[in-house]
Chain A
Amino acid sequence: MSRIEKRFAQLKADKRAGLVTYITAGDPNAEVGYQILKGLPAAGADLIELGMPFTDPMADGPSIQLAGQRALKAGITVDVTFDMVRRFRKETGDNDTPILLMGYYNLVYQRGAERFCKEAAAAGIDGFILVDLPPEEVDELKPFAVANGLDTVLLTAPTTDDKRLPAVLSYASGFVYFVSVLGITGTTSASEEAVRTHVERIKRHTKLPVGVGFGIKTPDQAAAIARHADAAVVGSAIVDRVKAGLDDNGKAKPDLVPGVFAYIKALADGVRGVRKV
């Protein structure tokens, strides 16, 4: 059983949904970024998505674009990201919280999918969410991910109809990420009703847990998602808190890290307040 599978099994046993938190690796710099990563589980994150900063994040809105630019400016590379996860596993002794890499395929491709998977697994990473690697192209990564025990979390969208869903799901492992709105990250939010309908639809096709993301900004919204999905994913709203903790020169103010954790705690309270039957 992978860490992701174990975590969802535990959530099910606890009769609640999970909170998946996204941060961009090394935003606003390697050290502060690590302090945030390190404290995420204690703040209430059940799973962690670690974004690999990329120059051309085509599916991301302004918040995550800016976070990526901050991280790139701070010199964050794939190796630095791997090191950060390695350090997290070692220093915190947390061997249970799943960490997924999120981002764009070119960074994986340049290193070579096989080598990338090997190194990611060795660093303590559990899987991938690669925005621009749909089922049509995931073949070139999947065998190496499987060989190294990494989950490939595939995206489904409102445009993924019942006819297409089985093909998408056949490549998915860990959980299914439902992109709840048409659009980029951090913009509009889906209605609770729309989320309910889509999650039920996806669950008719798979036993995998379903995480729902895009546009979740408040504890109430996170709670609404938690009523229907197995996990709520929050990203842009968190990196906005990182940005809010920077001074005019882009340096981290003392309240940056506590501010991020306080916000995540509020989201976690929202999610945990929903009892699942």
Chain B
Amino acid sequence: MSTSPNSFRTGPDERGHFGLFGGRYVAETLMPLILDLEKAYNEAKVDPQFQGELKYLLTQYAGRPSPLYYAERLTKKLGGAKVYLKRDELNHTGSHKINNVLGQVLLAKRMGKTRVIAETGAGQHGVATATACALFDIPCVVFMGSVDVDRQAPNVFRMKMLGAEVRPVKAGAATLKDAMNEALRDWVATCETTFYCIGTVAGPHPYPAMVRDFQCVIGDEVRKQMMEAEGRLPDTLVACIGGGSNAMGLFHPFLDDSGVRIIGVEAAGRGIDSGEHAASLTGGRPGVLHGNRTYLLQDKEGQITEAHSISAGLDYPGIGPEHSWLKEKGRVEYVSATDDEAVEAFQLLCKIEGIIPALESAHALAHTLKLAPTLPKDNLLVMNLSGRGDKDVPQIAERLGVKI
């Protein structure tokens, strides 16, 4: 890893800031606990035993490395870039979320915590957390907006089968942001015994850096796999962004490879102009929420506005602070895809490659469908297929007017 001043990979600073972004904007009650967590993580990070255990679990339990699959039919149809799919949907629990959760729950165990809480949007992080807690025999409570409880029913039942308690949150728009508020409220009351397992590269320092580190396994694998497959690095990376953990995991190991074009795809909902979207970088501005400074959807006053996306996992008015920084630095391009484009892409991948993508990942795919045809045939494009879409089948059926 480069440590030169020109590196994009050295952040955050010791106070958890990525330039203007990041930080630790939390109540005093939590502050000492966050400092403890930072210390524990810094120790674990360099402890070969911790890393060995994590590696073992990622390999033997989660099924890593996930394949880097050359999507030949998709590539032919698009007629441009050579499209590879990073198959993180094949992980145990069906998404990239398990990469981070195994790391955090191992850390919780190491810190002697006896209870784990998590927030979830689509339920993928909730399922992953419930899974790891079942494996380690730790009680688990998952906070989930009641709107998401309804639209992601299969995942709710999965969490319950795995032994977790799911607490529906009715406040606000009853989606991911409100679930995170409620998880923070629980944590402030239980912080001495409870580990808060945040699902994305957001929240107070050290979460954005820690979750990123755990997710970097995605990009590290892609680097190696692409060298094996093509003898060189990819030219283009594409990933969807809600909080941005799957994207950061893919992007970060390539940030200092200036020849690699990197693109994050936000959820444009019913269109950026409609005002009903979840594209914080495109339609928001810097503000402070959930422990960090980052781009947020908000009104003039600073009241947080509701995000909208068909995808529960992207339905969040903020984004990880490191993405905000990368946007300002111009290192990563941030674009968006609408609900309709995502649903169309979802259906295409089912038919053409026999893969049902998560609605979240379908946003990355929607942009890939637009971008790949404009690129030369020798352009190696990697799209992170961060989750599988089984959970979305009822919702897609409903949208298509089909009763199942």
Distance between Cα atoms of A269 and B32 in the complex (Å): 36
Distance between Cα atoms of A158 and B32 in the complex (Å): 10
Contact of A132 among B172, B190, B288, B301 (CB under 8 A): B288
Q: Is the CB of A184 within 8 A of B185?
A: yes
Distance between Cα atoms of A237 and B193 in the complex (Å): 28
Which A residues touch B189, using CB under 8 A?
Answer: 181-184, 187-188
Which residues of A49-73 have CB atoms within 8 Å of chain B's CB atoms? 54-61, 65, 72
**Is the C-beta of B80 less than 8 angstroms from some C-beta in chain A?**
no
Encode contact with B along A174-197: 1 for CB under 8 Å, 0 otherwise: 000001011110011000000000
Contact of A58 among B32, B185, B191, B192 (CB under 8 A): B185
Q: Is the CB of B23 within 8 A of A105?
A: no
Total count of chain B residues near the partner, CB < 8 A: 37
Which residues of B178-218 have CB atoms within 8 Å of chain A's CB atoms? 181, 184-185, 188-192
**Is the C-beta of A121 less than 8 angstroms from some C-beta in chain B?**
no
Which B residues touch A110, using CB under 8 A?
Answer: 287, 298, 300-302
Q: Is the CB of A136 within 8 A of B31?
A: yes
Q: Is the CB of B303 within 8 A of A72?
A: yes
Expressed in whole angstroms, the minimum distance between the Cβ of B95 and any Cβ of chain A is 26
Encode contact with A along B41-74: 1 for CB under 8 Å, 0 otherwise: 0000000000000000000000000000000000
**Is the C-beta of B271 less than 8 angstroms from some C-beta in chain A?**
no
Q: Is the CB of A56 within 8 A of B304?
A: yes
Q: Is the CB of B29 within 8 A of A109?
A: no
**Is the C-beta of B227 less than 8 angstroms from some C-beta in chain A?**
no
**Is the C-beta of B291 less than 8 angstroms from some C-beta in chain A?**
yes
**Is the C-beta of B15 less than 8 angstroms from some C-beta in chain A?**
yes
Encode contact with A along B9-32: 1 for CB under 8 Å, 0 otherwise: 000000100000001111111111
Q: Is the CB of A106 within 8 A of B302?
A: yes
Q: Is the CB of A56 within 8 A of B191?
A: no
Which of the candidate stretches A10-18, A40-48, A160-168 sits at the interface with the other chain?
A160-168
* Closest residue of B by beta carbon distance from A159: B32
Q: Is the CB of A106 within 8 A of B289?
A: yes
**Is the C-beta of B397 less than 8 angstroms from some C-beta in chain A?**
no
**Is the C-beta of A122 less than 8 angstroms from some C-beta in chain B?**
no
Which A residues touch B298, using CB under 8 A?
Answer: 106, 110
**Is the C-beta of A155 less than 8 angstroms from some C-beta in chain B?**
yes
A-B CB contacts (within 8 Å), total count: 116
Q: Is the CB of A109 within 8 A of B302?
A: yes
Which A residues touch B29, using CB under 8 A?
Answer: 59, 155, 157-159, 179, 182-183
* Closest residue of B by beta carbon distance from A77: B301
Q: Is the CB of A55 within 8 A of B303?
A: yes
Band of interface residues on A: 35 or more
**Is the C-beta of B158 less than 8 angstroms from some C-beta in chain A?**
no
Expressed in whole angstroms, the minimum distance between the Cβ of A3 and any Cβ of chain B is 24
Q: Is the CB of B23 within 8 A of A136?
A: yes
Q: Is the CB of A137 within 8 A of B25?
A: yes
**Is the C-beta of B177 less than 8 angstroms from some C-beta in chain A?**
yes
Expressed in whole angstroms, the minimum distance between the Cβ of B160 and any Cβ of chain A is 25
Among B23, B29, B288, B303, residue most surrounded by chain A Cβ atoms (within 10 Å)? B29
**Is the C-beta of B171 less than 8 angstroms from some C-beta in chain A?**
yes
Which B residues touch A135, using CB under 8 A?
Answer: 31
Which residues of B280-324 have CB atoms within 8 Å of chain A's CB atoms? 287-291, 293, 296, 298, 300-305
**Is the C-beta of B33 less than 8 angstroms from some C-beta in chain A?**
yes
Which B residues touch A56, using CB under 8 A?
Answer: 172, 177, 181, 289-290, 304
Q: Is the CB of A55 within 8 A of B172?
A: yes
Q: Is the CB of A183 within 8 A of B188?
A: yes
Expressed in whole angstroms, the minimum distance between the Cβ of A165 and any Cβ of chain B is 10
Q: Which 3 pairs, one residue from A and one from B, show the smallest C-beta to C-beta distance?
A: A110-B302, A183-B189, A157-B29
Tell me the B residues contacting A by CB distance below 8 Å.
Answer: 15, 23-33, 171-172, 177, 181, 184-185, 188-192, 287-291, 293, 296, 298, 300-305
